[in-house]
A = this chain, B = another copy of it.
Amino acid sequence: MKALVYTQAKEVIFRDETDPVVEQGEVLVRIEAVGICGSDLHAFLGHDERRIGPLILGHEGSGTVVGGEMDGQKVVINPLVTCGACPDCFSGRSNLCANREIISMAPRQGAFAQRVSIPERNLVAVPEGMDMTRAALAEPIATAWHAVSVAAQKTHRPLAECRALVFGGGAVGLAAALSLHAQGCKNILLAETNELRRQTVDKEGICTSFDPINNNIVDENSVDVVVDCVGGNPTRKAASAAIRPGGVIVHVGLMDALDGLDVRKITLQEITFCGTYTYTMKDFQAAVNAMNSGALGDLSWYEERPLSEGAQAFDDLLNNRSSSAKIVLRP
């Protein structure tokens, strides 16, 4: 099969690879669309010690089951493979499973390929009529949906009464704003430094976007909920300043781990800082349902390209030349 292979830092090559081996309990999925994630870029730059080349990256896939009882079924792939048998899996927190694996990280190859093998229990059916490229947005949307759901659990007021601030206008940031809106939040700010991305965000008409460096419109102690989809030192600093006493900061992004939090304020003002990682199958299903219902808008904030031109897409993303919140590749 053809695949886009990460070979070494700053190099991906579109080439022939051997077909995946289908293990017991797994099915083969012919990939129709697969998004490029910030973590793919991070790995591409050689910054992810968990992703060593040669490796097929990509974990945001939609496609069609090939063979077996589900042959022909349109699906999105939950790329997080969990054991299903540990206390975390049993308690509904499968994303914390100590044995979790994710496709695009050894030992599992990713979805920048024509085919991928995945446990059958990781498939979510695509509703009748949903476009398969849009369906590939389910993964970043599930990530955001989960983060917003955690915020809704932790905050002391209903989201409908909260003022929320999202950091990042990429797919997860935009999906967080859309998820906040879908879950009832009426007052949403979104900080994004890239003007092209702000324009994409603004088209949704559900939040106020701004440039946090040159035009910070957020007063100190003024927001109830922060969803930080960047996760860097500057966003943690800005989140610490913006959050009101008793507020909740949900930390989704993994840009860096260099300090930034105002621990003194967190203590004196009883602020909750909570990490979130991926999603459970429940989140994934909820994301697909919300996508299908129209609650998250028309989902037109992506751009489609052939998988064979993946290297150019990586380059464009790294140089801020794309206005889309997401580039989706088609094998």
On whether the beta carbons of B262 and A267 are closer than 8 Å, the reply is no
The answer to whether A257 has its CB under 8 Å from any CB of chain B is yes
Residues in A151-167 with C-beta less than 8 Å from chain B: 154, 156-157
Interface segment out of the listed A25-33, A192-200, A272-280? A272-280
| Given A93-B246, A96-B245, A245-B98, A274 contacting B270 (CB threshold 8 A) | yes
A270 partner, pick from B156, B236, B276, beta carbons under 8 A:
B276
For residue A88, CB closer than 8 A to chain B, the reply is yes
Interface presence of A217 (CB below 8 A): no
B residues in contact with A264, CB < 8 Å: 254, 257
A252 within 8 A of B: yes
17 contacts between A and B (CB under 8 A): A95-B270, A96-B270, A154-B272, A251-B267, A254-B268, A259-B259, A261-B261, A267-B276, A267-B277, A268-B277, A269-B277, A270-B274, A270-B275, A270-B277, A271-B274, A272-B274, A273-B274
A3 proximal to B (CB < 8 A): no
Inter-chain CA distance A270–B252, complex, in Å, is 9
Residues of chain B with a CB closer than 8 A to A269's CB: 96, 275, 277
Q: Residues 218-256 of chain A: 1 if any B CB is under 8 Å from the residue's CB, otherwise 0?
A: 000000000000010000100000000110000111100
The 5 closest A-B pairs by CB, nearest first: A267-B275, A266-B275, A257-B264, A96-B245, A259-B259
Q: Which of A84-106 contact B (CB under 8 A)?
A: 88, 91, 93, 95-96, 98
